[in-house]
Amino acid sequence: MTEATGNANRMTTMKALVFHPPNRVALEDRAKPTIRQATDAIVRIITTSICGTDLHILKGDVPTIPDGRILGHEGVGIVEEVGSSVLGFCKGDKVLISVITSCGRCSFCKQGMYSHCRSGGWCLGNSIDGTQAEYVRIPFADNGLYLLPPKVEDEAAVMLSCILPTGLECGVLNGQVKPGDLVAIVGAGPVGLAALLTAQLYSPAEIIMMDLDDNRLEMARTMGATQVVNTSDGKALEQVMALTKTAGVDVAIEAVGCPATFDICQAIIAPGGRIANVGVHGKSVELHLERLWSSNITLATRLVDARTTPMLLKMVESGRLDAKKLVSHRFKLSEIMKAYDTFANAAKQHALKVILKN
Amino acid sequence: MTEATGNANRMTTMKALVFHPPNRVALEDRAKPTIRQATDAIVRIITTSICGTDLHILKGDVPTIPDGRILGHEGVGIVEEVGSSVLGFCKGDKVLISVITSCGRCSFCKQGMYSHCRSGGWCLGNSIDGTQAEYVRIPFADNGLYLLPPKVEDEAAVMLSCILPTGLECGVLNGQVKPGDLVAIVGAGPVGLAALLTAQLYSPAEIIMMDLDDNRLEMARTMGATQVVNTSDGKALEQVMALTKTAGVDVAIEAVGCPATFDICQAIIAPGGRIANVGVHGKSVELHLERLWSSNITLATRLVDARTTPMLLKMVESGRLDAKKLVSHRFKLSEIMKAYDTFANAAKQHALKVILKN
Amino acid sequence: MTEATGNANRMTTMKALVFHPPNRVALEDRAKPTIRQATDAIVRIITTSICGTDLHILKGDVPTIPDGRILGHEGVGIVEEVGSSVLGFCKGDKVLISVITSCGRCSFCKQGMYSHCRSGGWCLGNSIDGTQAEYVRIPFADNGLYLLPPKVEDEAAVMLSCILPTGLECGVLNGQVKPGDLVAIVGAGPVGLAALLTAQLYSPAEIIMMDLDDNRLEMARTMGATQVVNTSDGKALEQVMALTKTAGVDVAIEAVGCPATFDICQAIIAPGGRIANVGVHGKSVELHLERLWSSNITLATRLVDARTTPMLLKMVESGRLDAKKLVSHRFKLSEIMKAYDTFANAAKQHALKVILKN
Amino acid sequence: MTEATGNANRMTTMKALVFHPPNRVALEDRAKPTIRQATDAIVRIITTSICGTDLHILKGDVPTIPDGRILGHEGVGIVEEVGSSVLGFCKGDKVLISVITSCGRCSFCKQGMYSHCRSGGWCLGNSIDGTQAEYVRIPFADNGLYLLPPKVEDEAAVMLSCILPTGLECGVLNGQVKPGDLVAIVGAGPVGLAALLTAQLYSPAEIIMMDLDDNRLEMARTMGATQVVNTSDGKALEQVMALTKTAGVDVAIEAVGCPATFDICQAIIAPGGRIANVGVHGKSVELHLERLWSSNITLATRLVDARTTPMLLKMVESGRLDAKKLVSHRFKLSEIMKAYDTFANAAKQHALKVILKN
């Protein structure tokens, strides 16, 4: 093969992590994406990551995803090409990619509920090809990309595609965390830790982190938890009640997604408190309305809308939010199978977020 | 007995509806209440009413209430006497009595959560003697009484002691009803109808009333329901979905207090919607987080704090809220046993709120 | 000229009201607009209106408007053609046109401040050709058009292009009108009356309308004002204070745009009150901070963002808002010069909004 | 005099700083205060401070204060005696005294506008004797005192009587500071610095401090200002515009109280921004509505209600707010004349808040 041909080839194919149901992924050659709509952009990925949702896909929990889909919904890259109606970006711009695709026009978008966009939502690595590849097509590019300020490092920025907005919006904002509040976060995985980091933007007096894994609780301490409670010994409720002088907590953030952890939230919430559900639940839970009907409590659920990404970018740029704290491991894109292994064995590997670089 | 003695007697005893557990009430002679604290007032009752909660007490649902308690927490009357620290009232003032006793000093009162007041809450007819009597002692009188404007009729005012603030606060405010909203209210009893009347203060586009009883649904129509759905035929969900063009409702107000009606609320709520629980629940419910985790919904519970009573008084005074629509029957206090019978057989008697006059 | 040529001609030219600075308008033949961007739509106008702003333009108050500009920013019409990126509309749709052009993508649009859109704002009849014509080009059509529900009459709908959202957003929402509030509106012109109509969506206890013109005050009474005060006799402040039992008003809406009317608002506002500025001011005002610094008051200004148009459409559709009350006169588009005369002499002609039909 | 008599004497008289109009104060012997109402408490002062308002009094700016008034409205002390209706305190409790006296019962108190309480407001050292003394009578003690947690130092606590709630409520809350905001504070005196410290509870991206005095600007840097601008050289507006990439600031806090500093706020505020007035103004200002009418800005004024004192106590207790940073000098109560001198020459003495200890 001549060099010219090689170049041409590089220009039309790319490496990408492809899903084969029910539970296999492989790094394969795929055609490079091209502009389809006037509002599209093509982005060359330089940094991406793996989300807990990607593991769910591999377990068969998202059965709508077809064979051949490229996974991934997080990323930083360089704009390669834009459609004729794209206003805010041009070739060469360094950008952050949002997990959420949104048209900016429908009634849900007008309310800021971008996750429910009638022409978008969580599409990347789900209903369309995603970011665990050398290139990705971004629909409605003006609404799905953000210019990366020079001061913000790629690794920090990738934390703003999905994990930090999820912790902030589904946990902290749904929990209405305020200065002086007592907050408990149940689950110290990446999204619980993202809630922990972003809760501090609202200055609660105390943040109690709860988990089964002492290692993760120790990490939580270094990220700002003022108290930690291991939930494995059956005394967690007593401990929280003692820490709050029997008042209970103002905000309980459920960051696991199972009945037992939801139960903890119900048990420790103070009158007037807010329960914010971040976890993805596979089955129903028992809600103790026979007790809570009179407690003036609020329970809120939500998909991440990623509407806070611009604000989080400002906070990272100003040095007030250290997003990189969530990064535990770094790999090349060519090592992505190893990265998946590491992330899938997070507890053993002491893994939080893994970074993939092109 | 001479007449003089009789007079003196009349001044120290009174008629009162007394509770004898487990489930008996009787109109009996009792000692007239006297000032105990500097912040107390004694009020001569001229109008009172019976609440659904009073029926719950008679069913044994509030086991903490002791033998001999005078029931009732609604009323309009004339101030007879005030303690030395009462600032805002004096003998002869015509007043509305709030269901909620509040100190105005504790941390819950500072947040407007008067129902959780550390020295108060729902006390009248519960932890202290209530208003179904000729006289009542009102603790923290400055926080538990409202001067009645001359324009406001007694019958209208009594609806502001408990039932209208309950419908408004637990239903409408917890549901965050806004102009243009689609609202469904499940349960067309007095509290559901109170939610219906007060929801209109926030101008929803549509209010769908749901109940098993066609008679109550017809009453709901006359009070402002734009659609009614009888839930007895198993097609209620389909009907609501048809009425909302499959979108579901922005606000679902549960005004019954059982798992089946809570289920309706879960089933019809639109993404971004709010479920407000008004009903008193005796057991837990199944919450479908496996579906709702991603729906951006909010569920709120609450005791009535009666903090909206002053606003409701202004609305009644200005003629913009017709509180009397909730009154269906009128009795003398001496006929209170008959009034209880009527209210206890509300469906058959077509009863909403019953008025008792002294 | 053959008929065929005539048809062709009708298809490429149209009648339009053209502005010639400094202060002349004329109904002239102009080329029919065509699609320029993939996000454009062309709309055939069937109903339009004249805004107070159009009169300002004729007085030379908007010097940036060039010779030849077609005026007008209100309208109802039929979609003739859409660009390739328009998602929500197709040829034949009956639509309401918003005064505000917005990209739906910039940081201001993301906050709902569409009036400050970096690629839009108030463009129609200002920086681009407007709606007082047979056809108009609408940029970002998905964000600037609304499907008209069959139940909503054209005349009512045209009131939702600009005047009702202006009264609601700049007056009522900026004034945070709540149930039970005492509200004063200074200025009973069309926008003041629009504030009056939409304030009632939030159920204030009283709305005091203030103006120099008794005829307009009478109209205000028929539209829901509970009190009217003629400000010409120098006793207006005393009257408002008497009507509010010396408390002042919770909300004062300035709907004129001059120092004297702003002064009234400052003088009558209660502690904790909100002053909402709707009027377009040509000069600065004196703000009495030496008194107001301690009054816990809020003053808010705003361009109309027209973000409430969808909600207002629902209210008109449900029959709860009678938008047509603002219409006083009707003309054919060919009579537009006469319509301008009528509207320019509004007091004498008892004119509110004038409707122009094609 | 025998020792016994001396003791008795010490029990009925005390040292106090007494105001003699127009502009003299003196440390004098005064009768110790006694309980007058059942809701009063008597507190023995152990720490107090001097407020900028006290200097205003000495300049004759508060002409309603009579000869003989004891000044001061800040303090920490020990409860000596309580009236019979006081619920929350007893002899020996260590307490923080609020600048605001509030009944907890009137309509203003119900809205949290304690500063406008119909039986209270700013009373201490104004309409009743204050805290710059050995003892003080606190009316409505349950609403004007806070139990001091053991962890909180007296000096830190005294900053919560007035200065920190003022900066927070009048500046930060009225300015609606949010994560990611650009904030400017005009005036780096104690109250401006209090706004600076408390603004950080809401995580703005940048806080620009503006003042004429480089020394104060340096102090501001140590307290969290990310940028400082000296306003003496006429280039302040340009500098702020450069720092904000010409966007202007989201929040401008006026912490001086004169037309020139208010003008700066008007000039630098971004569309959609909030101006919060903290300064006490002696004359009116010119408000540029001819420009601001279309800027979607909000201007808010307020007296301190001190409703945030409990939250601030939690923040100090948890170690997240270093209130002591505002303390620059310490004196004994017997040295109060010298303390006043120091505070009156704050710029020269590099003084912020001065502490007085008994």
Interface test with B, best of A280, A294, A295, A305 (most B CBs within 10 A): A294
Q: Are strands C269-277 and C249-254 parallel, antiparallel or unpaired?
A: parallel
Nearest chain A CA: its distance from B170 CA (Å)? 9
Residues C235-281 have pLDDT tens digits of 999 999 999 999 999 999 999 999 999 999 999 999 999 999 999 99
User: Does residue C319 surpass a pLDDT of 70?
Assistant: yes
Residue B9 pLDDT greater than 70, yes or no: no
Q: How confident is the model at residue C234 (pLDDT cuts 50, 70, 90)?
A: confident
CB contact under 8 A, C85 and A85: yes
Total CB pairs under 8 A between chain B and C? 48
Nearest chain A residue to D226 by CA distance is A318
State the Cα–Cα distance between residues A188 and A191, nearest whole angstrom: 7
Among D37, D88, D105, the residue with its CB nearest the CB of B143 is D105
- Report how far residue C167's alpha carbon sits from residue A20's, in angstroms, rounded to the nearest whole number: 57
Q: Are A70 and A18 in contact (CB under 8 A)?
A: yes
pLDDT, residue A3, reads 42
Q: How far is C89 from chain A (nearest CA, A)?
A: 12
How confident is the model at residue D61, as a pLDDT?
A: 87
pLDDT of residue B34: 97
Residues C56-87 have pLDDT tens digits of 999 988 999 999 999 999 999 999 999 999 99
Q: How far apart are CA C89 and CA C81, in angstroms?
A: 9
Answer whether D104 sits within 8 Å of B106, measured CB to CB.
Answer: no
Q: Count of alpha carbons within 13 Å of A2, Cβ hemisphere only? A: 3
Alpha-carbon separation of residue C85 from A6, B82, B163, C110, C137 (angstroms): 36, 73, 53, 20, 15
- Distance (Å) from the alpha carbon of B319 to chain A's nearest alpha carbon: 31
- DSSP symbol at A265: H
pLDDT in tens, D89-115: 999 999 999 999 999 999 999 999 999
Task: Say yes or no to pLDDT of D9 above 60.
Answer: no
Give C79-116 pLDDT, tens digit per residue. Answer: 999 999 999 999 999 999 999 999 999 999 999 999 99
pLDDT digits (tens, 9 = 90+) for C195-226: 999 999 999 999 999 999 999 999 999 999 99
pLDDT band at D4 (very low <50, low <70, confident <90, very high): very low
* Contact check, Cβ <8 Å, B311/C179: yes
Backbone angles phi, psi at B166, to 5 degrees: -65, -50
Helix residue ranges per DSSP H, D236-331: 236-243, 259-268, 289-292, 309-317
CA distance linking residue B92 with residue B80, whole number of Å: 6
Contact of B182 with B244, CB cutoff 8 Å = yes
Residue B233 pLDDT? 85
Q: Is the dihedral of CA B340, B345, B347, B349 positive or negative?
A: negative
Of C203, C312, C320, the CB nearest to B201: C203
Please tell me which residue of chain D has the smallest CA distance to A320: D205
Residue with tokens 């009413």: B49
Q: What percent of chain A has pLDDT over 70?
A: 97
Residue A65, both tokens: 């995803």
What DSSP string describes A56-84? HHHTT--TTPPTT-B----EEEEEEEE-T
Contact C98, C306 (CB under 8 A): yes
Per-residue pLDDT of C29-45, as tens digits, reads 999 999 999 999 999 99
pLDDT score of B2? 40
Residue of B277, B287, B298, B307 to mutate, interface with A, max A Cβ within 10 Å: B287
- The residue among B36, B86, B87 with the most chain D CBs within 10 A of its CB, best to mutate, is B87
pLDDT of residue D6: 44
Q: What pLDDT shows up at residue C61?
A: 87
Dist. CA D141–CA A248, nearest whole Å: 27
With 80 as the cut, is the pLDDT of residue B5 above it?
A: no
Q: Determine the straight-line distance between the first and last CA of chain A, rounded to whole angstroms.
A: 24
Task: Please report the ipTM that was assigned to this predicted complex.
Answer: 0.94
Greatest C-alpha distance within chain D? 77
Query: Which positions in chain D have a beta carbon within 8 angstroms of at least one beta carbon in chain B?
Result: 37-39, 84-85, 87-88, 103-107, 109-110, 112, 119, 142-143, 307, 310
Dihedral angle sign, alpha carbons of residues A236, A238, A240, A243: negative
Tell the residue number behind the tokens 């007895």, with chain if given.
Answer: B232
**pLDDT at residue A303 greater than cutoff 70:** yes
Question: Which chain A positions have a beta carbon within 8 Å of B283's beta carbon?
Answer: 289-290
Q: Which of C292, C104, A268, B105 is nearest to D41 (CA)?
A: B105
Is residue C309 within 8 Å of C146, Cβ to Cβ?
yes
pLDDT mean across residues, chain A: 95
Residues A109 and C323: their CA atoms lie apart, in Å, by 27
Q: Give the chain C residue nearest A111 (alpha carbons).
A: C112
Q: Which residues of C are less than 8 Å from D269 in CB distance?
A: none
Kindly state the tokens that stand for D34: 């006694």
Neighbours of chain D (3+ CB pairs under 8 A): A, B, C
Which of the four pLDDT bands, split at 50, 70 and 90, describes residue D65? very high
Residue type for position B12: T
Cis peptide before B22 (omega within 30 of 0): yes
φ, ψ for residue D111 (rounded to 5)? -90, 0
Pick B39's closest partner by Cβ from D85, D110, D310: D85
Amino acid at C145: L
Nearest to D37 among B85, B103, B110 (CB): B85
Is C286 close to D284, i.e. CB distance below 8 A? yes
* Interface mutation vs chain B, best among D82, D105, D314, most B CBs within 10 Å: D105
Of C116, C272, C292, the CB nearest to D296: C116
Backbone φ, ψ for residue A218 (5° rounding): -65, -40
pLDDT tens digits for range D314-327:
999 999 999 999 99
Gyration radius of chain C's alpha carbons: 21
Which residues of chain B make contact with A292, given a CB cutoff of 8 A?
A: 301
Chain B contact residues (CB < 8 Å to C): 178-180, 200-203, 205-206, 226, 310-312, 314-315, 317-318, 320
Please say whether the beta carbons of C75 and C158 come within 8 A. yes
Q: How many angstroms separate the CA atoms of B188 and B202, rounded? A: 19
Rounded CA-CA distance C140/C41 in Å is: 8
Rounding to the nearest 10 degrees, give the CA dihedral for residues C219, C224, C228, C232: -40
Question: What's the pLDDT score for residue B61?
Answer: 87
Q: How far is A143 from chain C (nearest CA, A)?
A: 6
pLDDT for position A187 = 98
CA–centroid distance for A316 within its chain:
16
**Token pair for residue C45?**
């106008």
- What is the identity of the amino acid at D95? V
From the list B105, B107, B143, the residue facing D87 with the nearest CB is B105
* Closest chain B residue by Cα to residue D40: B85
Contacts of B308 in chain D (CB under 8 A): none
Select from C146, C201, C244, C245 the residue whose CB has the most chain B CBs within 10 Å, as the one to mutate to test that interface.
Answer: C201
Which residues of chain D make contact with B147, given a CB cutoff of 8 A?
none
> Inter-chain contact C310–A103, Cβ cutoff 8 Å?
no
Report pLDDT digits (tens) over B321-337.
999 999 999 999 999 99
Confidence of residue A6 (pLDDT cuts 50, 70, 90): very low
- Across chain D, the runs of DSSP E, i.e. the strands, are 13-20, 24-31, 41-49, 75-82, 94-97, 100-101, 121-122, 135-138, 145-147, 182-186, 206-211, 227-230, 249-254, 269-277, 285-287, 298-300, 327-332, 353-357
The two beta strands, A145-147 and A94-97, are antiparallel
Q: What's the pLDDT tens digit per position in B225-241?
A: 999 999 998 899 999 99
**Cα atoms in the Cβ-side hemisphere of radius 13 Å centred on B272:** 18
pLDDT of residue C271: 97
Can you give the pLDDT at residue A292? 97
Give me the percent of chain C exceeding a pLDDT of 90.
95
Q: Considering chain B, what percentage of its residues have pLDDT values greater than 70? A: 97
- pLDDT average, residue stretch B179-208: 98
pLDDT digits (tens, 9 = 90+) for A204-249: 999 999 999 999 999 999 999 999 999 998 899 999 999 999 999 9
Please list every residue in chain D whose beta carbon sits closer than 8 Å to the beta carbon of residue C281: 289-290, 293
**Cβ within 8 Å, pair D301-C285:** no
Which site among A146, A169, A200, A201 would you substitute to test the D interface, given the most D Cβ atoms closer than 10 Å to its Cβ? A201
Cβ contacts of residue D201 below 8 Å, gap of 6+? Answer: A179, A202, A203, D168, D172, D315, D321
- Chain A touching partners, 3 or more CB pairs below 8 A: B, C, D
Q: d(Cα D338, Cα D179) in Å, to the nearest integer?
A: 42
Q: Which one-letter amino acid corresponds to residue C29?
A: D
- How far does D214 lie from chain A, in Å, by closest CA? 23
Number of residues assigned to chain D: 358
Q: In sequence order, what are the residues at sequence separation of 6 or more whose Cβ sits closer than 8 angstroms to the Cβ of residue C251? A: C175, C176, C177, C181, C182, C183, C184, C204, C273, C274, C275, C276
Residue B6 has pLDDT above 90, yes or no: no
Interface of C to B at Cβ within 8 Å reads 178-180, 200-203, 205-206, 226, 310-312, 314-315, 317-318, 320
Q: Which of B37, B106, B307 is the closest to D85 by Cβ?
A: B37
Global pTM exceeds 0.90: yes
**Closest alpha carbon within chain D to B112:** D110
